[in-house]
Amino acid sequence: MRRTRLTGLTVLALAALLAGGAVVSGYGSRALSAVRAASWDLDIERAMDVVGVAPGMVVGEAGAGDGYFSLPMARRVGPEGAVYANDISRRVLSQLESNARREQLDNVHVVEGDVDDPRFPRRDLELVVIVHAFHDFTQPVAWLRNVKKYLGPGATVAIIDRDPSQVGDSHFWPRERIVRYAEEAGFEPTKVVDSISRHLIVVIKPRAERASAR
């Protein structure tokens, strides 16, 4: 079993959260925001700039957990947009719904998916993000193949995770592995950024199908 190395501050925060019944994501051992803030330190606003989150967009997130990234996206896309927040755990989705209500974000819609299919209810998503979760996917290639049917024309998928070459932790996947899975699933990379808070952002899009020869 792979283990993430945690700092002393993170261990203390995790212990406190688990003692209080912390919610974890169904895609892996992701705890609540206080732990993530201490250990991941993602500049969310800059990350959204890189992947192209904009007002009015209809976007999805896989492995959304308690809303660490979904809620900031919902604020950015605004009331004219929508966020479909997916996870495979009903428990964490209930927590996300509660968090969205508390922040009065009516444009967040939770979606319970499978390990190989996010089961988004729409086929016109403009962007799907996977934040701090892809390295825990048990069927990454099958999942990527299935997500294509929920994407609208020109849509992209953005994988955002800690960069193992910068944080020195083999729990996370290097860009070569992420790109390999994407290519196996019929995607091609359009952008790779590794300059934001020691994170790796890989943006991919479905590869154009070649027309058959007549």
Q: Which two tokens stand for residue 72?
A: 């900031």
pLDDT at 198: 95
CA distances for 173 relative to 31, 85, 132, 207, 214, angstroms: 19, 23, 11, 22, 41
Digit-coded pLDDT (tens) for 6-30: 334 333 334 333 333 333 344 433 3
Q: Domain count of the chain? A: 1
Range of the domain at 60: 41-206
Q: What is the DSSP string of 45-100?
A: HHHHHHHT--TT-EEEEES-TTTTTHHHHHHHH-TTSEEEEEES-HHHHHHHHHHH
Residue 20 placed within a domain: no
Q: Classify residue 5: in a domain, yes or no.
A: no
Q: pTM for this structure?
A: 0.82
Task: With H, G, I as helix, E, B as strand and everything else as coil, classify residue 116.
Answer: coil
CATH number of the domain at 65, please: 3.40.50.150
Let me know if residue 26 belongs to a domain: no
* Residue 150 domain flag: yes
How far apart CA 156 and CA 138 sit, in angstroms, is 21
On whether residue 29 sits in a domain, the answer given is no
Asked if residue 15 belongs to a domain, the reply is no
* Low-confidence residues in the chain, pLDDT < 70: 1-40, 210-214
pLDDT, one tens digit per residue, over 80-111 is 999 999 999 999 999 999 999 999 999 999 99
Provide the residue type at 48 as one letter: M
Pairing of strands 82-87, 58-62: parallel
Residue 182's pLDDT is: 98
- Residue located via tokens 């499978």: 114
Q: What is the pLDDT of residue 22?
A: 36
Instruction: Check residue 121 and report its DSSP letter.
Output: S
Q: Which amino acid is at 2?
A: R
DSSP 21: T
Give the per-residue pLDDT at 151.
Answer: 98
8 within domain boundaries: no
Q: Report yes or no on 55 lying in a domain.
A: yes
> What CA–CA distance (Å, rounded) separates 28 from 136?
5
